[in-house]
Homo-oligomer: A and B are copies of this chain.
């Protein structure tokens, strides 16, 4: 925990106060961590697993981001002590560190080192959102997918073949398209030397794919943690999550 950039520079004293009330919890896949409009009592830090942030209005839902370890989320809402502006749900089993909001806000007002670390972290989140919006609005679906594949490739060591980190439907959500559309996009990419076999994707002609993708450092910035991307298409959601909702949240310190 001390190794997180958010806490690394912090005073020993405030660190102790923050951790005193913090705890670690494991969540199963599909657990709803919070819902729009809820008061936000904790800052969440995703240590392992992945989580999806979404927004809803008028029975439609859209994915705002999919996070991987290590990421903080809803920092802004905690600082403002405002209701959550998004829903958070685990995608796979996730280890999450939870820090009470009151302690966090107190620490911000007392320790310069902490509050400037928070400012840096927030700035990073902000820039991530901006990148996500640009990715979403300036590129078409094919281009988004191409860039995503290139990003995954470099993150997984640069070899010609990569493994999709989630099920395809989550990738679709992440890229702002319907699963059907993702499927079609993949088959369109055959023309650019992309071969898909289940979750394995191999890029046979990187140069060609890159000419399509036109990656841009201002959009595809080397992601410090994991993809903080935008998107997903409007979709009616029938809230048939009963099974998941009821899933017991096995807690641990």
Q: Which residues of A contact B (CB under 8 A)?
A: 36-37, 55-58, 60-62, 64, 75-77, 79-80, 82-83, 85-86, 108-112, 115-116, 118-120, 122-127, 129-134, 136-139, 176, 214, 216, 218-219, 230-232, 234
Closest to A118 in B: B119
With the chains together, A228 CA to B230 CA distance in Å? 18
Taking CB atoms, residues of chain B closer than 8 Å to A214 are 57-58
Are B108 and A75 within 8 A (Cβ)? no
7 more CB-based (< 8 A) A-B contacts, given A115-B115, A115-B116: A57-B134, A57-B219, A76-B124, A79-B119, A115-B119, A129-B129, A129-B133
Taking CB atoms, residues of chain B closer than 8 Å to A123 are 75-77, 79-80, 122
Are A85 and B115 within 8 A (Cβ)? no
Number of copies: 2
With the chains together, A108 CA to B118 CA distance in Å? 11
| With known contacts A76-B127, A134-B57, A218–B37 Cβ distance under 8 A | yes
Are A138 and B58 within 8 A (Cβ)? yes
| With known contacts A62-B138, A112-B109, A127–B82 Cβ distance under 8 A | yes
19 A-B contacts, Cβ less than 8 Å apart? A55-B130, A55-B133, A55-B134, A57-B134, A57-B138, A64-B133, A76-B127, A79-B119, A79-B120, A80-B120, A85-B131, A109-B116, A110-B112, A115-B115, A118-B119, A125-B126, A129-B133, A133-B230, A137-B232
